[in-house]
């Protein structure tokens, strides 16, 4: 709502409130972002504005500066300005904006501000039913001279009681590693410069009250829905003012607006939780699931053949693999890298998107027939944005490579990048991919991206990551338009391009190239802060991981893969009959639970020790739940006491049973407890959430799965 005099905007529901101060003199300020305030009459709203103004301080501005959605240096903000740029003569570098109009309808506000420097900013703010805020700026150059945009981001102030920061870092095969520290004076700046969010992406930048955890504390979080360069920051000034901000990372000269041209920032998604990090996840997951393009059919259990055959494509072996896959309940079969011309290893052929006649003399039709006749969907791997210098495409069109105009960067993974910003390049990729998808019954594409964009100059010589990202989006959208029902997985060396910009155009992500179940526990736990389980590819890898050389029992690998979009990345033709039987049982359990797993609320218990984790999914109506108890390492004590099960309805009664398929671990007689009996244990929700249940002893790198139903 807005006051009659248009002095304030309050967007709120039962999860969050945002109050904007429109009284000026500068860009709209933020009087409150946090706990819901309910319905406020105009007098209360204006009183809130007055009493939340920063107090005057010695040696400070006579009129204190209220932090806003676009912090302004010209108004006295001494932190990072929301807009950084200038005209060719160096002017307009510190514009002063004045609000001209505010349009408020339902849960959406559109604010138009203009500056004395010939610049206009339209700010869009939306509040979703899940409590998630979506915000972006659109900057228009209304002056006669060009305007170079070096940075434009959305900022949101957080209260001084937010004393700690938490975000994520990582590397290949070790994505989403959490890091936290004090929210001190200065700037915590996280930038990704590889042309994608990257392994080092903060994913969700969070600030919270001291000691906040998964289940407790107030938390404020930002995510940038963008698949190119990104910038996230948390900043605290000596005045005590502190903000979270996010925007696209722009290279010098990348965005230069001629008269009348505009630049639109990516959407910034902002969530508040009064109940820990799980509340941030809940707001994000609810919004993701409410999107019209969110996958609505049951997520097919997927076999990807990469770790089964690598580049050794042989129809007989792949047929045996398809037979084994159908036998254990696989629903989608994906042929990975190596099917196209000259691709016998990773040094050649990338970009030559024609089926290799030497390997597949009859094309992919015979394999597609094998797969679909077994009742499975057929999927195929592409890496369209990249090219091997040793390829027909690179030899014929060296000018199509990103950076060719100013000198190519060093090869990475024997690859260079195709300049999708050039129309002939874009047209070639569309024609080739479209042709392959039209020739065969392909319902799924694994879309990979295996190198950084370095010195990424377009044909003009100017930085080209922004244009490359928009061209990628357009290519994905056009392929989906031409092939209704086509699903696309975003893969970037595993989990290096995981963001809600790419997921506007794709249907899931490959969470990591690491299928080591122990590593995956942490990777999936923290990727799941942003993404609902059905958007994360979680596969059962081979007994010995090819990234860590570590071995795990099938039960641990399968229990880890269970809580996502489950699949298999393993040569199951080499598995023993007993292993295939057990794998089939785990897949059947996933199918039984996936309606719950892919719709319910993700919960993660706060464990007193890092060696033992408990996480799960609870139906929104409280009717059912599934939990995993994961022993990651040994503890100093032999066993743990009862484990509380978070998220259940205190007023309901539940039956809890151990759901691990047979065979059970060695010496089964040691595991006789109420929860292991066929009838399980029945207790009120208020007992289960506070006292919990006792589970059998677990050896390191093993897990129990608990199935919970209301009785």
Alpha carbon 406 to chain centroid, angstroms:
33
* Max Cα distance, the chain (Å): 83
Q: What is the DSSP string of 97-127?
A: EEEEEEEEETTEEEEEEEETTSEEEEEEEEE
Angle, nearest 10°, between helix axes 517-530 and 277-290?
A: 70
In this structure, how many other beta carbons lie within 10 angstroms of the beta carbon of residue 624? 18
Instruction: Name, in order, each residue with C-beta under 8 angstroms of 549's C-beta and a sequence gap of 6 or more.
Output: none
Say how far apart CA 202 and CA 207 lie, in whole Å.
12
- CA-based radius of gyration for the chain: 27
The dihedrals phi and psi of 217, each to the nearest 5 degrees, come to 95, 155
Structure tokens at 572: 């199951």
The dihedrals phi and psi of 499, each to the nearest 5 degrees, come to -160, 165
**Pick the catalytic residue: 336, 337, 352, 448?**
448
Structure tokens at 371: 């797969």
Q: Which helix (H) or strand (E) holds 588?
A: helix 577-597
Say how far apart CA 220 and CA 243 lie, in whole Å.
10
Beta-bridge mates of residue 236: 186, 242
Say how far apart CA 386 and CA 195 lie, in whole Å.
13
**Pick the catalytic residue: 278, 513, 516, 649?**
513
557: left (phi over 0), alpha (psi -120 to 50) or beta: alpha
User: Is residue 499 annotated as a catalytic residue, yes or no?
Assistant: no
Say how far apart CA 58 and CA 39 lie, in whole Å.
36
CB 236 within 8 A of CB 227: no
CB 304 within 8 A of CB 336: yes
Alpha carbon 379 to chain centroid, angstroms:
22
CB 136 within 8 A of CB 270: no
363: left (phi over 0), alpha (psi -120 to 50) or beta: left
CB 583 within 8 A of CB 557: no
Distances (CA, A) of 626 to 30, 179, 321, 620, 710: 40, 28, 31, 13, 12
User: Dihedral (C-alpha) 305, 310, 313, 315: value to the nearest 10 degrees?
Assistant: -30
Say how far apart CA 416 and CA 453 lie, in whole Å.
9
User: Is residue 448 annotated as a catalytic residue, yes or no?
Assistant: yes
Q: For tokens 């060695």, name the residue.
A: 666
Say how far apart CA 229 and CA 197 lie, in whole Å.
6
Structure tokens at 522: 């942490």
Alpha carbon 600 to chain centroid, angstroms:
18
CB 273 within 8 A of CB 34: no
Say how far apart CA 434 and CA 428 lie, in whole Å.
10
Instruction: Name, in order, each residue with C-beta under 8 angstroms of 395's C-beta and a sequence gap of 6 or more.
Output: none
Instruction: Name, in order, each residue with C-beta under 8 angstroms of 497's C-beta and a sequence gap of 6 or more.
Output: 196, 197, 198, 227, 449, 490, 491, 509
Say how far apart CA 211 and CA 70 lie, in whole Å.
29
CB 243 within 8 A of CB 194: no
Q: What single-letter DSSP state applies at residue 467?
A: H
Residue positions annotated with a catalytic role: 448, 513
């Amino acid at each position: 709502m807005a006051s009659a005099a248009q002095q304030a905007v309050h967007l709120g529901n039962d999860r969050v409130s945002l109050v904007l101060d429109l009284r000026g003199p500068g860009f709209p300020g933020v009087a409150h972002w946090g706990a819901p305030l309910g319905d406020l009459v105009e007098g209360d709203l204006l009183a809130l504005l007055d009493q939340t103004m920063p107090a005057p301080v010695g040696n400070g501005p006579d009129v204190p500066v209220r932090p806003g959605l676009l912090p302004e240096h010209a108004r006295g903000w001494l932190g990072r300005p929301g807009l950084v740029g200038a005209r060719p003569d160096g002017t307009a570098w510190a514009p002063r904006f004045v609000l001209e109009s505010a349009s408020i309808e339902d849960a959406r506000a559109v604010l138009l501000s203009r500056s004395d420097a010939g610049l206009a900013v339209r700010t869009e703010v939306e509040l979703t039913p899940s409590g998630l805020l979506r915000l972006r700026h659109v900057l228009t150059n209304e002056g006669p001279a060009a305007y170079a945009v070096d940075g434009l981001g959305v900022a949101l102030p957080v209260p001084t009681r937010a004393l700690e920061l938490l975000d994520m870092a990582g590397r290949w095969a070790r994505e989403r590693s959490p890091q936290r520290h004090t929210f001190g004076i200065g700037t915590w700046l996280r930038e990704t410069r590889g042309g994608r969010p990257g392994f080092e992406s903060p994913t969700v930048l969070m600030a919270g009250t001291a000691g906040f955890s998964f289940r407790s504390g107030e938390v404020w979080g930002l995510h940038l829905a963008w698949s190119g360069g990104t910038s996230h920051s948390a900043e605290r000034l000596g005045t005590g003012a502190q903000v979270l901000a996010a925007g696209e990372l722009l290279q010098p000269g990348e965005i230069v607006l001629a008269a009348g041209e505009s630049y639109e920032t990516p959407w910034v998604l902002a969530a508040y939780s009064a109940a820990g990090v799980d509340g941030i996840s809940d707001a994000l997951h609810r919004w993701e699931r409410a999107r019209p393009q969110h996958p609505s059919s049951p997520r097919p259990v997927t076999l990807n053949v990469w770790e089964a055959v690598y580049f050794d494509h042989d129809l007989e072996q792949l047929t045996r693999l398809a037979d084994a896959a159908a036998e254990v309940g696989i629903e989608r079969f994906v042929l990975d890298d190596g099917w196209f011309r000259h691709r016998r290893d990773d040094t050649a052929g990338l970009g030559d998107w024609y089926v290799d006649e030497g390997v597949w003399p009859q094309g992919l039709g015979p394999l597609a027939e094998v797969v679909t006749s077994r009742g499975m969907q057929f999927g195929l791997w592409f890496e369209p944005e990249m090219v091997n210098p040793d390829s027909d495409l690179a030899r014929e069109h060296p000018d199509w490579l990103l950076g060719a105009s100013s000198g190519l960067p060093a090869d990475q993974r024997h690859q260079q990048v195709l300049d999708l910003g050039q129309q002939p390049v874009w047209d070639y990729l569309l024609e080739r991919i479209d042709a392959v998808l039209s020739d065969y019954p392909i319902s799924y594409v694994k879309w990979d991206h295996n190198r950084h964009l370095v010195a990424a100059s377009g044909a003009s010589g100017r930085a080209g990551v922004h244009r490359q990202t928009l061209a990628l989006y357009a290519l994905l959208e056009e392929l989906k338009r031409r092939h209704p029902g086509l699903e696309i997985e975003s893969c970037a060396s595993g989990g290096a391009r995981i963001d809600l910009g790419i997921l506007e155009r794709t249907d899931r992500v490959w969470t990591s190239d690491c299928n080591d179940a122990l590593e995956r526990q942490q990777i999936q736990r923290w990727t799941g802060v942003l993404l609902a389980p059905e958007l994360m590819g979680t596969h059962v890898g081979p007994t010995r991981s090819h990234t860590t050389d570590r071995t795990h029992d099938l039960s641990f690998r399968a229990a880890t893969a269970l809580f996502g979009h489950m699949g298999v990345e393993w040569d199951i033709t080499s598995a023993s009959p007993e292993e295939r039987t057990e794998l089939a049982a785990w897949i059947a359990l996933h199918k039984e639970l996936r309606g719950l797993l892919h719709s319910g609320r993700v919960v993660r218990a706060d464990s007193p020790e890092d060696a033992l984790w408990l996480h799960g999914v609870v139906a929104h109506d409280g009717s059912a739940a599934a939990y995993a108890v994961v022993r990651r390492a040994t503890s100093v004590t032999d066993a743990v006491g009862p484990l509380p099960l978070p998220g259940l309805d205190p007023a309901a009664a539940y039956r809890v049973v151990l759901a691990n398929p047979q065979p059970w671990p060695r010496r089964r007689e040691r595991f006789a407890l109420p929860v292991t009996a066929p009838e399980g244990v029945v207790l009120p929700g208020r007992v289960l959430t506070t006292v919990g249940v006792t589970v059998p002893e677990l050896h390191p790198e093993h897990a129990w799965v608990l199935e919970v139903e209301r009785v």
